[in-house]
Structure 1
């Protein structure tokens, strides 16, 4: 895999996503979820909110980096905060 320029941040990102998906799969198997209505305009399950929050965090991260002069770590923290908010109350 030398042709792939894996760096520690890249590998960490994909490992974190894999762990989140594995954890959500186990959680769904042990305790099946149900649809609920939060602040999102649709009824969602845990998996729906995870998907929406991952997309939203990615777009928010890119938007903050493009439009502000903030350092990478601040944009990352803002994206993670948005992800948690959507997962919890979305």
Structure 2
């Protein structure tokens, strides 16, 4: 871990993101993706919704860090609610 001065939480974060990408790739291969129209009126696939979720979660965490500063695990709860909303309605 010292070759990039990473901490275990940082490495775990990237391992989880890589695992999610692998799972979504397998899902895309096994099950045909059908674009759907959501609240925004644009067609999205599973991968699009994952990207929107990851991008939005990054902004939620940055805003949480800037406004509240501490208790970052509570930001994870907000991100999970946001992800559920994106995959349900976008």
- TM (norm. structure 1) is 0.88
- TM (norm. structure 2) is 0.88
- Structure 2 CA distance for aligned equivalents of residues 8 and 15 of structure 1: 10
- Structure 1 CA distance for aligned equivalents of residues 49 and 20 of structure 2: 13
Q: CA RMSD in A?
A: 1.5
Query: What residue ranges of structure 2 are gaps of 5+ in the alignment?
Result: none
Task: Provide runs of 4+ in structure 1 moved above 2 Å.
Answer: none
- Residues 13-59 of structure 1 deviation map (CA, whole Å, 9 limit, x = unaligned): 00110010000000000001111012234111111111111000110
Q: Does 1:17 align with 2:17?
A: yes
1:46 alignment partner in structure 2: 46
- Structure 2 CA distance for aligned equivalents of residues 41 and 67 of structure 1: 31
1:75 alignment partner in structure 2: 75
- Structure 1 CA distance for aligned equivalents of residues 83 and 8 of structure 2: 22
> How many residues are aligned here?
90
- Structure 2 CA distance for aligned equivalents of residues 61 and 49 of structure 1: 18
Q: Which has the higher strand share?
A: 2
Q: Secondary structure at the match of 2:36?
A: coil
- Structure 2 CA distance for aligned equivalents of residues 33 and 14 of structure 1: 25
